[in-house]
Amino acid sequence: MTTKTSTKTVIASAKTADGVRVEIWADGIVTRTRFGFYIEGIGRKKLPLDMLWLFKGEVELFDLSEIPALFNAARKKPRDPGDLRKLASRLCG
């Protein structure tokens, strides 16, 4: 049996440290809400599924203004959450 997820399906959501809801879509896109508002600095870029889950687990530690740095850090395919945080912190400032 196989299952197919529509790419227009929200598979997870999380709130940033400053309380903004971020949606994670099945096709690898990250937006601000279910209405699909792109996040400045990310746009239509996509993450592979394994990196989406790593990214989602760290969203709550970052403000919305830092989410593009976290996203770009996840695109570099870090090994674990600690590496992702270090890389994102370097990209933030």
Distance (Å, rounded) from C-alpha 37 to C-alpha 49? 20
Whether pLDDT at 1 is above 80: no
CA atoms within 13 A on the CB side of 51: 20
Indicate the pTM of the whole model: 0.86
Between 5 and 61, the more confident residue is 61
Whether pLDDT at 5 is above 70: no
Whether pLDDT at 93 is above 90: no
* pLDDT value at residue 8: 80
Whether pLDDT at 3 is above 60: no
The model's pLDDT over 24-70, given as tens digits with 9 standing for 90+, comes to: 999 999 999 867 799 999 999 999 988 999 999 999 999 999 999 99
Neighbouring residues of 36: CB distance < 8 A, sequence distance ≥ 6: 23
